[in-house]
């Protein structure tokens, strides 16, 4: 069996082994997928060792995505712009190649699984860290009317606006602080890590309209802090990041194996785990 793994620190709670095993079962691909905890000071050694013993592909998670991007000898176009990689493999000449399937996963979950139209939409993105940078290009490629990046540290949102200006032709891309927006958006995507500290970005309730689609890139067993806030403001369409998690995995699987697994049955299984 071909060997794959997810590398992170910590890694014991990762759902990737479960997701990829379900994909393998579903598609009949003969592969094994494990979880590896890399030491915080030796991600590179862990990656090299894995591929040297014949490993075919790695997923990379917190806190190593930027290092994975650095380490690779080459990057796909979407990984290049993302500044981080969640997918590694060796190409046919043995070069370590970095890809990033997170943005594709987010867009597929929104558009395919939740039926959200992004073309022409007014989108509010919360956060300006690695998670947001990783998804901006695929979001902009959907041709929304506008993407407003709101962040605690305004300068970081402004930097992203500059960085993604070339991808934003025809899209009104702008930066602001959390308290500034005061009109309803079509789609609000939370890409901050605020809820990890049980915090909420101090948004005006006016950003939530009756038809606003709220998407938290985080996933937890209970409703996330951010989604609960949105529900309390009257939002009716609230989604967490479980679908994105499965979709980014499906895209990595496709990159490695040339076969795209169906994600809905796997989302269903995980939801009931």
Please, where are the H alpha helices in the chain? 16-27, 43-52, 65-71, 77-82, 102-108, 130-141, 154-163, 225-232, 242-257, 264-271
Compute the C-alpha angle 45/48/49, nearest 5°: 85
Q: At 72, is the secondary structure helix, strand, or coil?
A: coil
Of 28, 54, 119, 197, the one binding ligand ATR (CB under 6 A) is 197
The yes or no reply on residue 9 touching ligand ATR (CB under 6 A) is no
State how far the Cα of 109 lies from the Cα of 107, in Å rounded to an integer. 5
Considering only residues 68 through 87, tell me which ones interact with ligand ATR, judged by CB under 6 A. none
Of 201, 241, 243, 261, the one binding ligand ATR (CB under 6 A) is 201
Query: What's the closest the beta carbon of residue 3 comes to ligand ATR, in angstroms?
Result: 27
Instruction: Find the residue with minimal CB distance to ligand ATR.
Output: 129
Q: Indicate which residue of 65, 81, 108, 257 is catalytic.
A: 65
Of 87, 190, 192, 225, the one binding ligand ATR (CB under 6 A) is 192
Structure tokens at 253: 């699987």
Considering only residues 124 through 183, tell me which ones interact with ligand ATR, judged by CB under 6 A. 127-131, 151-153, 156
3-state SS track over 137-184: HHHHHCCCCEEEEECCCHHHHHHHHHHCHHHHCCCEEEEECCCCCCCC
**Which CB atom, from 1 or from 153, has the smaller least distance to ligand ATR?**
153
- Answer yes or no: 65 catalytic: yes
**Which CB atom, from 100 or from 192, has the smaller least distance to ligand ATR?**
192
C-beta of residue 214 within 8 angstroms of C-beta of residue 235: yes
State how far the Cα of 10 lies from the Cα of 166, in Å rounded to an integer. 36
Confirm or deny that 131 is annotated as ligand binding.
yes
**Which CB atom, from 139 or from 266, has the smaller least distance to ligand ATR?**
139
State how far the Cα of 173 lies from the Cα of 50, in Å rounded to an integer. 40
Catalytic residues: 65
> Which residues are annotated binding-site positions for NADP(+)?
127-131, 151-156, 217, 241
List contacts with ligand ATR (CB under 6 A). 127-131, 151-153, 156, 192-194, 197, 199, 201
């Amino acid at each position: 069996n071909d060997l794959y793994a997810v590398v992170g620190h910590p890694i014991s709670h990762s759902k990737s082994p479960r997701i990829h095993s379900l994909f393998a079962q579903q598609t009949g691909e003969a592969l094994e997928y494990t979880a590896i905890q890399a030491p915080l000071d030796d991600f590179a050694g862990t990656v090299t060792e894995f591929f040297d013993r014949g490993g075919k592909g790695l997923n990379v998670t917190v806190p190593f995505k930027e290092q994975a991007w650095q380490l690779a000898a080459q990057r796909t176009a979407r990984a290049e712009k993302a500044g981080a990689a969640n997918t590694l493999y060796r190409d046919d000449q043995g070069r370590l190649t970095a890809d990033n399937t997170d943005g594709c996963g987010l867009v597929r979950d929104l558009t395919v699984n939740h039926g959200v139209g992004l073309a022409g939409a007014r989108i509010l993105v919360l956060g300006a860290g690695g998670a947001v940078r990783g998804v901006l290009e695929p979001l902009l490629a959907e041709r929304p009317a506008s993407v407003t990046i709101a962040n605690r540290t305004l300068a970081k949102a402004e930097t992203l606006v500059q960085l993604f200006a070339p991808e934003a032709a025809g899209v009104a891309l702008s930066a602001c602080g959390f308290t500034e927006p005061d009109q309803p958006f079509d789609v609000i995507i939370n890409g901050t890590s605020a809820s990890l500290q049980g915090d909420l970005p101090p948004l005006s309730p006016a950003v939530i309209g009756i038809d606003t689609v709220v998407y938290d890139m985080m996933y937890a067993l209970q409703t996330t802090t951010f989604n609960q806030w949105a529900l309390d403001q009257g939002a009716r369409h609230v989604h967490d990041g479980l679908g994105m998690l499965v979709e980014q995995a499906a895209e990595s699987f496709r990159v490695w194996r040339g076969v795209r697994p169906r994600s809905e049955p796997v989302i269903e299984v995980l939801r009931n785990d």
